[in-house]
């Protein structure tokens, strides 16, 4: 018997967590409504956002293609992300974290 017992088929780590879409049963990591957290550096400025295409949005932040907060403060390092089934489900944790 393994040290994990009956839970041996479960992944050892749940971070980053991948959730499945409620509409079709699967989510492609780059194209799911996602809440994400960026930082300028270790213990630096933080930014939280929501997007439907994380890969494109990260590229925009890193290349400073979007004027605004992230360009001004050099916020471009992905710290955390969490995909959701719908945009509404992604906006709720974003609002909770901002408070």
Q: Which residue has the tokens 């992905």?
A: 78
pLDDT in tens, the chain (99 residues): 444 444 444 444 344 544 444 444 444 555 799 999 999 999 999 999 999 999 999 999 999 998 999 999 999 999 999 999 999 999 999 999 988
In a domain, 50, yes or no: yes
Q: In this predicted structure, what is the pLDDT of residue 21?
A: 43
Give the burial class of 90: count Cβ atoms within 10 A of its Cβ; 0-12 exposed, 13-18 middle, 19 or more buried: buried
In a domain, 3, yes or no: no
Q: In this predicted structure, what is the pLDDT of residue 30?
A: 57
> Domain tally for the chain?
1
In a domain, 88, yes or no: yes
SS3 category, 74: coil
Q: In this predicted structure, what is the pLDDT of residue 28?
A: 54
Which residues constitute the domain of residue 37? Answer: 29-98
Residue 16 is encoded by which pair of tokens? Answer: 């980053």
- CATH number of the domain at 40, please: 3.40.1440
Helix (H) or strand (E) holding 49: strand 46-51
In a domain, 43, yes or no: yes
Q: In this predicted structure, what is the pLDDT of residue 12?
A: 43
């Amino acid at each position: 018997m393994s040290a994990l017992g009956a839970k041996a088929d479960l992944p050892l780590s749940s971070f980053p967590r991948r959730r499945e879409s409620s509409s079709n049963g699967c989510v492609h990591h780059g194209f799911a409504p996602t809440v994400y957290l960026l930082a300028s550096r270790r213990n630096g400025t933080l930014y939280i956002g929501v997007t439907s295409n994380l890969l494109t949005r990260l590229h925009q932040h890193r290349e400073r293609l979007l004027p605004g907060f992230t360009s001004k403060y050099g916020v471009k390092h992905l710290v955390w992300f969490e995909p959701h089934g719908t945009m509404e489900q992604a906006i709720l944790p974003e609002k909770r974290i901002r408070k």
